[in-house]
Structure 1
Amino acid sequence: MGELTDVTILYVEDEPVLREQVVFALRMHFSRVLSACDGKEAMRMIRAECPDVVVSDIRMPAMDGLTLASLLKTELPDLPVVLCTALHETDHLLKAIELGVAAYVSKPIDLEKLQHAIRLASLPCVNRREIARLRSEAAISNGLLGEGSIMRPIAEQLQRVADTDLSVMLLGEPGTGKNFLAAKVHALSKRKTQPFLAVDCLARTPEQLEKELFGEAKGRGRPSSGATELLSEADGGTLLLDGPERLPLQLQQRLFNLLEDGMFVPNGSIRPVACNLRVITVTGANLDKLAQAGTFSQELLERLKDVEVTLPPLRERRSDIPLLARFFLAVAADEFGRHCPSMTTEAEELLQQQQWPGNLRQLKQLMRRALFMAGNPISDAGLKPLIGQATSPIVPDLLPSSLDLVELEKWAIIQALAATDGKKQQAARLLGVSYNTFKDKIRRYNLTGL
């Protein structure tokens, strides 16, 4: 006998011999199987035992299966119901469809078909349970995204400062979970019921950023009649700036004044507007070097990094990779309504051997593809075609000798395009940037011929 599926089944049938036979058969495959003789007894057991799936005959005394399904649809709409009915009873079949039951199995009952119907009906429950287990095991629910010791002090630090108004700067490579953790900081803060608004500075021109943050002037001396400036919308909440290095110096000064004075003057207006917000920034750039070079405001930098946290790349957290892979796999299975496959030890070891230039984002996308294409259990042989060049090790000798930010960005773009056979959208995902940002950088660095 294989491993039991960890779900509780309630089987409702008035005929004692059939009920005993089906319950015996189901207990060979599911961890807990209960039984009831009619709908009334079933309702009492449902309230007491909280089953994950109800399987019911239709023709029963006291309360039939259709009435039971109708009651459950009203009282417990998320509890899946599988009805057993004879194919010639088309009126029952149509009513079952109308009630939105999870499945119906024809009588006489084919036990294999019934087991299959129950497994499909229980998928959401099984997947949610697996996600909850992995979250607990890896402390993912707190934004830790792993159990390795390298992440524990980071999580503890963010939890300590979350409920303050200190500005937070999250540093790290693309795909390391900066935006995820920024949202977690907001969710743990006293501002959690207020707006959390994100601005992708890298995907916007300076003009677009100014209009979005400070509004668009219309006419002389009066503000636009269009959408409210984003700073006003974020009042009382948290503003996330993704890629603040893209802000021109003029906007940097206006943002500093806002943080310093608690107010700003919208474009096209002469009246200052009070604005109380917390700023979280995420970036992969070295803002200290940019400040030394005069392209980023030193005083704004000091205001933005009351707390500075650097997130390690996934290749420095190899012990976390199997757990994270299983978590992303369970989330994908729940999203697509599929059974969550297991993974072999060899598959986990293969994942740990990769360099992961796209970090968590790349691992997540790989596991989504593996759900459909790598078999069950997921083996190293099933993963290898999906990994391909995208996760091949980066050879240090190929890095540009200069550590100039522009040269590094050019090199990263060229490497990403080479790894994806020139497919720009895939290359953008590999680098963890939006497609528009990627195209903009190609134009800016005159790499359009690649």
Structure 2
Amino acid sequence: MNEVIRKNFINILNSIDEGIHIVDTNGETIFYNPTMAQMEGMEGYQVMYKDVLAMFPSLTPETSTIHKVLKTKKAIYDNVQSYTNYKGRRITTINTTVPLYSDNEFVGVLEISKNVTRLQDLAEKIVDLQQQLYTTKTSKKESIKTKNKNFTFEDIVGESERLIRTIEFGKRAALTDSSVLIYGETGTGKELFAQSIHYGSKRAKKPFIAQNCAALPGSLLEGIIFGTVKGSFTGAVDRPGLLQQADGGTLLLDEINSMGFDLQAKLLRVLQDGKVRPLGGLKEIPVNVRIIATTNSEPVISVKDNILRQDLYYRLAVVNIELPPLRDRRGDIPLLTKHFLNKYKQEFNISNIGITKDVHELFLSYNWPGNVRELQHVIEGAINFLSDENYIVMESLPRYLRENFQKQPKATTLPELVEQLEVNTIKEKYYDFNKNITKTAEVLGISRQNLQYKLKKYNIN
């Protein structure tokens, strides 16, 4: 290799965030980058030209991924490994370990490690806290009151026909134990619906546990959901997974489309058999848990793009609920605005809060890509910049909202007022019925052809 290229290559390896450890065929270290040194509490000179096992007594030839690949010459991908570093601190890494060849001759092993100790610790603490919280609640005659209340269908704000129908679907789903798949854009209230289904069901007094599948790497997520058995990987302990902890209740798997295919297959077996096998375990444990999954991507498209397994999709979507985006139920924006104003009026101890007419018009015309959550955050932020009269004014709003707002020209003549009323009425009903032309025309009392003409005339799509 050209010397300049070699030096640049080494500089790259020394500057990346992942730990790099290379050993020769004897298992002795020939390259050890600063990230790996920091991760393992070592200095490069302590490790170079020494065997891995000599530096890390907690590892054995059977548990060391480097020694496994030295022996088998087969790559290991995304393997979780917990061990004690040189300073006696327990660390957890996700390792990819591959054999190295030069001119078809085996010359050593490369290991790339990502330190996930804090992530692993945090995930395990959350699991433990969820279990402690539920144990604390059930050990008392009455559930303790917590800051984060349990949501029910009564907490869902809105009167649009489409939302009301969606709530009715959810209430019917609460009467059964069927799996539920909830699809909705970010901020539409998927977890609120999931909680409402749980607390409206016969499982209401049992655990409701939520896990975001996008928050953890797949190799960690598996242990969190399915549990681990001591010895399943280096440093693993006996720990029940979320499926066991939610026994009798509901497990919400948020962003199910972020879960890897292997884990999806394992989840499918649990749904089919009602049994879970912890990571590294030999026995299957019966579980009685209802699965509610959510996704912010169109499920059919996720299946087509091989992001969501088709068999899992059919198993989850026994009940399929689609939440409408806020732009399709603009009639609910005044109600939501009032709801959030009252909420923050109490939290911030403000006697009264209002919004100006300009702000009201902006709220109704803006498309809200972040949906209800974005509206809530905009209102909360604006309250920090109230006018002297305790009004949310245009200057209280984020700059991006003000720049995107284009006020509609004022209607002054009778024909203009009538046309504006017609446009607003058609929009409201058209979106309420999920753009169903037949139902919208029926409610408006006009023919399908007339409605299609008006939709084109007013550029409503």
1:335 maps onto 2:347 in alignment: yes
Structure 1 residue matching 2:400: 3-state secondary structure: coil
- Cα separation, 2, equivalents of 1:240 and 1:385: 37
Cα displacement (A) at 1:293: 3.8
How many percent of aligned residue pairs carry the same amino acid? 34
Alignment of 1:119-134 (within 5 A): none
Once structures 1 and 2 are overlaid, which stretch shifts more, 340-349 or 278-287? Answer: 340-349
More helix by share: 1
Equivalent residue for 1:260? 272
Alignment partner, residue 169 of structure 2? 157
CA contact (8 A) 1:354 1:391 kept: no
Indicate the residue corresponding to 1:389 in structure 2: 400
**Structure 1 stretches lacking a partner, 5+ long:** 1-138, 396-450
TM-score by length of 1: 0.53
Change (3 A) 1:301 1:356: same
Shift of 1:390: 4.8
**C-alpha distance in 2 between matches for 1:345 and 1:324:** 16
Alignment of 1:159-198 (within 5 A): 159-198=171-210
1:325–1:243 distance in 2 versus 1, CA, 3 Å: same
Secondary structure of the structure 2 residue equivalent to 1:350: helix
Q: Which letter does structure 2 place at the counterpart of 1:347? A: V
Which residue does the alignment assign to 1:400? none
The code of the aligned residue for 1:337 comes to N
Distance in 2, Cα, partners of 1:274 & 1:294: 30
Does the aligned pair in 1 maintain the 2:209–2:252 contact within 8 Å?
yes
Are 2:358 and 1:350 aligned? no
- What is residue 56 of structure 2 aligned with on the other side? none
TM-superposed deviation, 1:325: 0.8
Is 1:361 the equivalent of 2:341? no
Q: Is contact 2:383–2:396 with CA below 8 Å preserved after alignment?
A: no
Q: In the alignment, what sits opposite 2:136?
A: none
SS in 1 for 2:201: coil
CA distance in 2, matches of 1:299, 1:359: 30
Check 1:359–1:377 CA distance in 2 against 1; reply closer, same or farther (3 A cut).
Answer: farther
Task: Choose the corresponding residue for 2:288, options 272, 276, 279.
Answer: 276
Q: Secondary structure at the match of 1:218?
A: coil
Q: Is the 8 A contact 1:200 1:241 kept in 2?
A: yes
Q: Which runs of 5+ in 2 are unaligned?
A: 1-150, 407-461
8 A contact 1:221–1:270 mirrored in 2: no
Distance 1:176 1:215 in 2: 31
Judging changes above 3 Å, is the alpha-carbon distance between structure 1 residues 369 and 140 closer, same or farther for their aligned structure 2 residues? farther
Q: CA deviation at 1:232?
A: 0.5
In the TM superposition, residue 287 of structure 1 has moved relative to its aligned partner by 2.7
Q: CA RMSD in A?
A: 2.7
- TM-score w.r.t. the length of structure 2 is 0.51
Cα offsets for 1:416-449 (capped at 9, x unmatched): xxxxxxxxxxxxxxxxxxxxxxxxxxxxxxxxxx
- Please report how far the alpha carbon of residue 344 of structure 1 lies from its aligned counterpart in structure 2 after TM superposition: 3.7
TM-aligned CA distance change 1:163 to 1:325, over 3 Å: same
CA distance in 2, matches of 1:369, 1:167: 37
CA distance in 1, matches of 2:355, 2:169: 33
Q: Distance in 1 between matches of 2:152 and 2:245?
A: 30
Mapped contact 2:232–2:279 kept (Cα < 8 A): no
Return the match for 2:384 from 372, 380, 403.
372
Q: Note the C-alpha offset of 1:218.
A: 2.7
Deviation at 1:223, TM superposition (A): 11
**Displacement of 1:228:** 2.1
> Do 1:162 and 1:188's aligned partners in 2 also have CA atoms closer than 8 Å?
yes
Contact persistence 2:299–2:308 (CA under 8 A): yes
In structure 2, the residue matched to 1:305 is 317
Instruction: Give per-residue Cα distances to partners, 1:17-66, cap 9 Å, x unaligned.
Output: xxxxxxxxxxxxxxxxxxxxxxxxxxxxxxxxxxxxxxxxxxxxxxxxxx
| Partner Cα distance (2:291, 2:241) in 1 | 16
Q: 1:323 aligns with which of 318, 335, 338?
A: 335
Superposition map of 1:47-58 within 5 A: none
SS of equivalent to 1:339? coil
Whichever residue aligns with residue 398 of structure 2, its letter is: I
The answer to whether the 8 A contact 1:178-1:282 is kept is: yes
Shift of the 200–225 alpha-carbon distance from structure 1 to 2, 3 Å rule, reads: same
Aligned to 2:249: 237
Relative to 1, partners in 2 of residues 1:288 and 1:278: Cα closer, same or farther, differing over 3 Å?
Answer: same
Cα distance in 1, alignment partners of residues 212 and 192 from structure 2: 14
Which amino acid in 2 is paired with 1:303? R
- Between the aligned partners of 2:385 and 2:368, the Cα distance in structure 1 is 20
Give the residue type in structure 2 aligned to 1:288: V
